Amino acid sequence: MYYIGIDLGTSSVKMLLMDKDGNILKRVSKDYPISFPHPGWSEQNPEDWYKQTLIGLKELIINISKEKIEGIGIGGQMHGLVVLDEKDCVIRPAILWNDNRTIKENEYLNEVIGKDFLSKNTGNISFTGFTASKLLWMKNNEVDKFKKISKIMLPKDYLVYKFTGVHSTDVSDASGTLIFDVKNRCWSKEMIDICGIKREQLPNIYESYEVVGNLNKDLMEELGINTKVKIVAGASDNAAAAIGTGTIGNGNCNLSLGTSGTVFISSDKFIEDENNSIHSFDHADGNYHLLGCMLSAASCNKWWNDEILKTKEYKKEQEKIKDLAENEVYFLPYLMGERSPYNDPNARGVFIGMNMNTKREDMTLAVLEGVSFAFRDIIEVSRKLGVNPTNTKICGGGAKSKLWIKILANVLNMNIEIIENEEGASLGGAILAAVSCGAFASLEEATNKIVKISEIFMPEESLVKKYEKKYSKYKEIYPSIKNLYKKL
């Protein structure tokens, strides 16, 4: 039997075909545009997601026995607001996770409604990217469109709806809306009222591995499939990537070094940070996790190379770097504001420490180290909560750089494990589908069989000591300049 995993990302949709033994048979990726209609805004057309996914699926399953396709699981970008009218037509472009238009609404939720109230009812406080503040923005700025809302959903749930006709979401994705009671795994009536919406506008809640419905007849005909295909609820991109890296059970960790950066630590119990520096969310394995998110991670390196150095030779630029932890240049990676641990949408990127001897490679190294130090900021919060992982898996495009992984291992003082087939959320989606269809007895059995470690990067004592000194200086930079950001 075959299982399809889909990762609905920010810039592309990635999908893979997996057999019952966990072997990946084929991969397909399709791009779609992002629009930035105003500074700080970030939008996409949900129909672009569906069209490109459909094109990709046709390519993925060509020349295979289609009657063997048993299930599909989807992971997707979190927090995005997709709104449909009573005819299930998209009302406006989706407002994405990295959109910062909701600064006023975010302040209203945290300061007027209050962080204690939010934390009590959802397990988290408000961040500009969260869905609740987007709904309030629509209510305040697009009154007519807000009144037309019949259904509210998250990005990957739009694909699930298009596949099945069912309005659904899963607990891990719902956790990032700020309308969801994470501890009790249900919608929060208090937050529904604050957002000015009704319960019937929100989708039903499923565990990530539960079957939502079957692929609809029109799609079956278009894809040439004549047997029932189960569609599972799926998961947020981070939770799906955690499944795809085997990050389940208590205390396991995964770093995602993608467009954004995340630290994901699985837990068998609900843990809440009293300062709300990191998120407490539900996990796709039926338990919980801590999640720290930085808005710009590998995208910092892409920006530095593409826009400033005007090169696509990322590896070549890194080959010039010789001495780690000797650099006098520091970089704050807040190109689009920051979430964890500072929750500051006004923060921006900063280079500091340049002198007349500063070279091109010093600046490149500063970018890699700056992102690594920002990961350390998040890890430090988990350590204060008594959660101190000593190993972590890693996924995302930035993980292709062995130099960057070496820096991370020494900045974090953790073993970093490289996955043999690093497919992130798309593999997680396929695993969820396989488990729901009975190919494996449990997620633990599936991940033990499928996820294999190919290499381990271990910290070096001398570099750990040097980076400890560098980090002690780095962590003083943001507090020293944070008051300048609003003025700038």
Residue 79, marked binder: yes
Q: How far apart are CA 298 and CA 81, in angstroms?
A: 24
Residue 183 and residue 257 share a domain: no
* Overall domain count for the chain: 2
Is 443 a domain residue?
A: no
Residue 291 and residue 232 share a domain: no
Q: How far apart are CA 481 and CA 250, in angstroms?
A: 37
Q: Distances from the Cα of 263 to the Cαs of 74, 229, 305, in angstroms?
A: 21, 33, 24
* CATH number for 410: 3.30.420.40
Residue 465 and residue 398 share a domain: yes
Q: For residue 367, is it left (φ>0), alpha (ψ between -120 and 50) or beta?
A: alpha
**Domain of residue 175, residue span:** 2-238
Residue 165 and residue 51 share a domain: yes
Locate 171 and state its tokens: 């607990």
Is 452 a domain residue?
A: no
Looking at residue 110, the DSSP 8-state letter turns out to be: I
Residue reference for tokens 């923005």: 137
Residue 284 and residue 212 share a domain: no
Longest dimension (CA), the chain: 68
pLDDT given for residue 263 in this prediction: 95
pLDDT given for residue 226 in this prediction: 86
Residue 251 and residue 165 share a domain: no
pLDDT given for residue 420 in this prediction: 86
Q: Which residues are CB-contacts of 125 (< 8 A; sequence separation ≥ 6)?
A: 109, 110, 115, 118, 119, 276, 343
Is 444 a domain residue?
A: no
Q: Which residues are CB-contacts of 187 (< 8 A; sequence separation ≥ 6)?
A: 174, 179, 180, 181, 199, 202, 205
Rounded to the nearest 10 degrees, the angle between the axes of helix 360-384 and helix 461-474 is 90
Q: For residue 449, is it left (φ>0), alpha (ψ between -120 and 50) or beta?
A: alpha
Residue by residue, pLDDT tens for the chain (488 residues) are: 999 999 999 889 999 999 999 999 999 999 999 999 998 899 999 999 999 999 999 999 998 999 999 999 999 999 999 999 999 999 999 999 989 899 999 999 999 999 999 999 999 999 888 999 999 999 999 999 999 999 999 999 999 999 999 999 999 999 999 999 999 999 999 999 999 999 999 999 999 999 999 999 999 999 999 889 999 999 999 999 999 999 998 889 999 998 889 999 999 999 988 888 899 999 999 999 999 999 899 999 999 999 999 999 999 999 989 899 999 999 999 998 898 899 888 899 999 999 999 999 999 999 999 999 999 999 999 999 988 899 999 988 899 999 999 999 999 999 999 988 778 899 999 999 999 999 999 999 999 999 999 999 999 999 999 999 999 999 999 999 999 998 88
pLDDT given for residue 27 in this prediction: 96
pLDDT given for residue 272 in this prediction: 87
Residue 213 and residue 267 share a domain: no
On the question of a cis peptide bond just before residue 33, with omega within 30 degrees of 0, the verdict is no
Is 488 a domain residue?
A: yes
Q: Which of 206, 238, 270 is the last residue of a domain?
A: 238
Q: How far apart are CA 145 and CA 379, in angstroms?
A: 41
Q: Which of 187, 204, 238 is the last residue of a domain?
A: 238
Residue 266 and residue 233 share a domain: no
Identity at 249, one-letter amino acid code: G
Residue 283, marked binder: no
Is 429 a domain residue?
A: no
pTM equals 0.89
Residue 280 and residue 206 share a domain: no
Torsions phi, psi for 478 (to 5 deg): -60, -50
Torsions phi, psi for 441 (to 5 deg): -75, -25
Is 431 a domain residue?
A: no
Residue 215 and residue 286 share a domain: no
> Nearest to residue 99, comparing CAs of 46, 48, 36?
36
Q: Distances from the Cα of 74 to the Cαs of 176, 281, 373, 420, 432, in angstroms?
A: 17, 18, 31, 21, 9
94 in Cβ contact with 80 (< 8 Å): yes
Is 449 a domain residue?
A: no
Residue 318 and residue 232 share a domain: no
Please identify every residue annotated as catalytic. Answer: 237
Q: Which of 210, 238, 266 is the last residue of a domain?
A: 238
Residue 263 and residue 403 share a domain: yes
